[in-house]
Structure 1
């Protein structure tokens, strides 16, 4: 039905990149794939894709039969109605497929499980016979690389991404992942350059639109993260608290909480850092978040 290359993408007001137009459920909910292992997640996603395709094909065939009959009977007005319905069926199928793929992203944004997300992406890549979704898949796999502590691999993978249009919305997501990966490998100059490109690219989004507002918030958030942790100040900490309160998915809230715990540790508030990093509601965590929490807890032991 619909190619994954036609699906919507990035950002959101969070330290990790989420897709533009993807509004996650409020609070710390779980994805519809929660509790499934990688193989079960793949099977469930594929089953849902097939169901949408089967339903759409059945509706298209029924509509075509009606169109043929109306032409034979000379009911051209009804034929035109069926033609419009045919276009609507195709459009609705594309929207449903796009929504399904976006909801799959909640395996990361809610469940914090990039391994399961990668498993589905690998299946989609194997089925992408004509390479129409290669760039989208590469960007998402690079995100998995970053979350699974392979930022160098993420940067290498992003080198293969190319779009004909310079204003393709997926460039923003690619730049987000590049920024975060460069921060992780210690390339602050490269991260600042990526942030500058993000700031420029956001102007492609219409002023006043949800995408533009989300992009503006993301750039402001990254302006905090581009500063080394020891150089962050009280205003940065206030922004972290604000982002925790406004987070629209578990990953966002937990990420900002861990960044705040790191800030408190480095600025002499060990009790606060311990409370934030030891919070049981932080679970589940991505491997990257697990590492940051371990670093904070280790720092607390040293300072204690």
Structure 2
């Protein structure tokens, strides 16, 4: 089968590599235009573009998927199918109709749960015990197309969004290739998504990363892990914003919510239930470091408190 792959970030690379290694012919890749990166803000190709170039695959970088030149080139290529993973732009009907078997999307949740841009982060923050990945036929409505395949994955007690997403990207790439195989073989049928139990996962904002210490320890733990690495969990000490990495829940309660307890080897913070022990902390203008090292270099009030 002639395949054009669409994707942009690192998360999409396992699927591209799996398709390249499959029986299918990846004839081109669609990705977002080069973007500024690094301290010099140099225009840099996306991770998927760089991977495609290593394989000698044609790379298409339309400013918009509706651009006429891009649409003309996609018609010339005439792919049978366009698998898409975290591409980052909406695909309109005119483009959806070009491939014979349409566009099929790998999404990192068990649909119809967590439609949208941040399904992994939202699942962790909500306290879900199980998530997964879904391959579905792309339609113009957000993540609402009929389902072609699903896998499930347990959310571990110490998973950050980065760790969970990496596992889903790996397992999901195998699911995606399997679905493309069955599409070519003609022995797969799409199943409409249920109309109930729909939930949405909009992109997390920086403001949503702020920790509310007036919550239970288990909710704060999930919040921090869900926001790690992006957009990052943070709190305020005095007038300064402090980034907080994953923490450890303790079994005892010694501090009021937000109150900081500095020991020789650990830094605790109070919640509405038990204390949490901070892992890594990053102050403004500093590198991320173990919380105990951060505390040794910080001047605290007599009763320091995060807010």
Q: When the two structures are superposed, what TM-score results if normalisation uses the length of structure 2? A: 0.28
Q: Greater share of strand residues, 1 or 2?
A: 2
Q: When the two structures are superposed, what TM-score results if normalisation uses the length of structure 1? A: 0.28
**Greater RCO structure (CA 8 Å; 6+ sep):** 1
